Amino acid sequence: MSPTAREKIRTVIIDDHTELAHEVAERIAALIRSRRPDERPVVLGLATGSTPIGVYRELIRMHREEGLSFQHVVTFNLDEYWPMPPDAVNSYHRFMWENLFDHIDIDRSRVHIPRGDLPRTEVEAHTVAYEQAIRDAGGIDLQLLGIGKTGHIGFNEPGSGMQSRTRLIALDNITRRDAAADFFGEEFVPREAITMGIASILDAREIAILATGEHKARVIRLAVEGEVSMEIAATFLQRHANTTCYVDAAAAADLTRVATPWLLDEVEWTEALMLKAVSWLSLTTNTAILKLTQHDYAEHHLSSLVARHGSPGAVNGEVFNILSGKIKGRSKLPQRERIVVFSPHPDDDVISMGGTLHKLAQNANVLTVAYMTSGNIAVFDHEARRYVDVLERLAASDRLPAAPIEAFTTAVRGALAGKSPGQIDAAVVQDLKRVIREAEAVSGIEAAGLKAASARFLNLPFYQTGKVKKDPIGPKDVAMVRALLEEMQPAYIFVAGDLSDPHGTHRVCKEAIDAACAELWPTADSPGRPEIWLYRGAWQEWPVAEATWLVPLSQEELRLKIQAIFKHQSQKDSAPFPGTDDREFWQRVESRNKETAALLNRLGLAEYFAMEAYVVV
């Protein structure tokens, strides 16, 4: 059986995001270059969101550096919120001009985006005209798509039919929750949108669908391998003869050829694959690793693994010993070393590795926690007003000089009073929110046993847009990270390897660290190259079989970690960017760390109260 036998949509896995964007952009460019100016223009269907931005940046680069012209290109965008003025911060009109059209030579009259500023009485006529415009242009040559967590393409939510056309549609609650970060609150997300229908999308001659991150793994498996269903609109793409799904390794993680390839074909048994297979078998059969039998292996297509080792006992013993060797208590952790912990936001350090951070402090290591961004956009306005109130009360009781305090608080209150939902904060408000996050970060590491002097606030330039949407990593960002590494000369670096945070900051911060490390230590054996440990954030943990090290936490250590998270008061109770998990971050952490330990116990290994997991690069 072919490794891709269960995949009903052609799927290409490209782990490097720059390469993935280049691959898709190159396909678009090839289509444009193949069409002579005297022929029908190339018609592109375009999508918005964070996933296609890399493709648009690559197309802009091709235009500037390779002379790729868009003068004979016609575009139709998938969707737009309704109601939504075209110049609003969250308008897809604005998104497309800022991220693509303003930077290429496209004819403005050939750009088509559904209008979100029409009265409801005019929307139906507009959607009919939009469909006619696509037909008049000769149909879409290539349609670019993203995919939502519900499997929606465009805004075709669960229940959308295969014959649906461009129309006004009510947005699913999960879709609105996912968009809450961009609107600074779910209550500000429009409840409706205009979207191309499933039939409109399937009419395209070619379709490219993009997905990245662990949070897309489940829906990609359902879309690619599942049955066609109105509940998952992306499954309709299985009925399109020329669709390609472009995914990174994280989004592909649940595909059968990645998750359980032994079920499809003969495999080459590496240690990593053996660990994954035996752990999977143990959990599937609910049998401890050391108790797995020949029957268990045979019934689950793993006889070749037993044959390779001679007996079930040999396989069981080897896997048990390898997994046991991953457990790394305090005595096995670094001692008296120089360590830099990079935290994308001012709370990722304690959320993801607060227990290990405490152990490293106990081991007399010289620790520097580098907070890469201010995290100020994640502070609610009411939190800023609370600090303003404190300052005003101190000034009123003669504890602080009244005049400068009054000038500052008046400026903050005035800026907040005149602010509309999603609007960029005034500089004075951004600065106050930055200071709030910095104070919380210091308090957090002190609760974990570190000194306040261990905190370093880099405030990288890419983040300083005041918006959820950030700039790409630039030379200044890399230079700041490099300068810190040159100063500290660490033996170990801890980096966020989580790629599923809602706004992508973890991914971008890792890019800056990777670039700085590549400059300082070009090869794996470069002198002074530190050992790099990847932790994961508030969204999920490393699987036990994939982890390099598993650090056990006692009940007291987990409680201390939670107390450190509590110090981030502006993120407690109701975090601005919660994703689809309603729980507070400390609740997710407690559950995740306990579940990792419980999983180890189910495999028949030692029983611990809680655990943090790491992958060493």
CB-based contact 604:281 (threshold 8 Å): no
Phi, psi (deg, nearest 5) at residue 611: -150, 145
Helices (H), 310-375: 312-325, 348-362
| pLDDT given for residue 18 in this prediction | 87
Q: Rounded to an integer, what distance in angstroms lies between the CA atom of residue 455 and that of residue 267?
A: 47
- Structure-token match 């005019």, residue found: 122
Tokens representing 519?
Answer: 């400059």
Q: What is the mean pLDDT of the chain?
A: 93
Three state DSSP letters for 254-274: CCHHHHCHHHCCCCCCCHHHH
CB-based contact 501:539 (threshold 8 Å): yes
Q: Rounded to an integer, what distance in angstroms lies between the CA atom of residue 326 and that of residue 277?
A: 17
Query: Do 10-256 and 330-379+437-616 come out as alike in CATH topology?
Result: yes
**pLDDT tens sequence across 239-295:** 999 999 999 998 999 999 999 999 999 999 999 999 999 999 999 999 999 999 999
CB-based contact 312:328 (threshold 8 Å): no
Q: Rounded to an integer, what distance in angstroms lies between the CA atom of residue 120 and that of residue 400?
A: 54
| pLDDT given for residue 186 in this prediction | 80
| pLDDT given for residue 32 in this prediction | 96
Q: Which residues are bridge partners to 492 per DSSP?
A: 339, 531
Q: Topology of domain 330-379+437-616, per CATH?
A: Rossmann fold (3.40.50)
Single pTM value for the model: 0.87
Domain extent listing, the chain: 10-256, 260-325, 330-379+437-616
Question: What is the DSSP track for 147-173?
Answer: --TT--BTTB-TT--TT--SEEEEPPH
157 is catalytic: yes
DSSP state of 71: T
Tokens representing 495?
Answer: 């980096």
Burial class (CB in 10 A: 0-12, 13-18, 19+), 520: middle
Q: Rounded to an integer, what distance in angstroms lies between the CA atom of residue 101 and that of residue 46?
A: 11
Q: Rounded to an integer, what distance in angstroms lies between the CA atom of residue 57 and that of residue 600?
A: 43
| pLDDT given for residue 581 in this prediction | 63
| pLDDT given for residue 578 in this prediction | 47
| pLDDT given for residue 423 in this prediction | 79
The residue type found at 200 is S
Q: Which of 131, 157, 225, 440 is catalytic?
A: 157
- What residues have CB less than 8 Å from 348, skipping those under 6 apart? 496, 506, 537, 538
Q: Rounded to an integer, what distance in angstroms lies between the CA atom of residue 42 and that of residue 44?
A: 6
| pLDDT given for residue 50 in this prediction | 82
Phi, psi (deg, nearest 5) at residue 269: -85, 95
Map residue 499 onto helix, strand or coil.
Answer: coil
CATH 3.30.310.50 assigned to 10-256? no
CB-based contact 159:187 (threshold 8 Å): no
Q: Which residues of the chain have pLDDT under 50?
A: 502, 578
CB-based contact 80:193 (threshold 8 Å): yes
The neighbour count for residue 288, using CB atoms within 10 Å, is 15
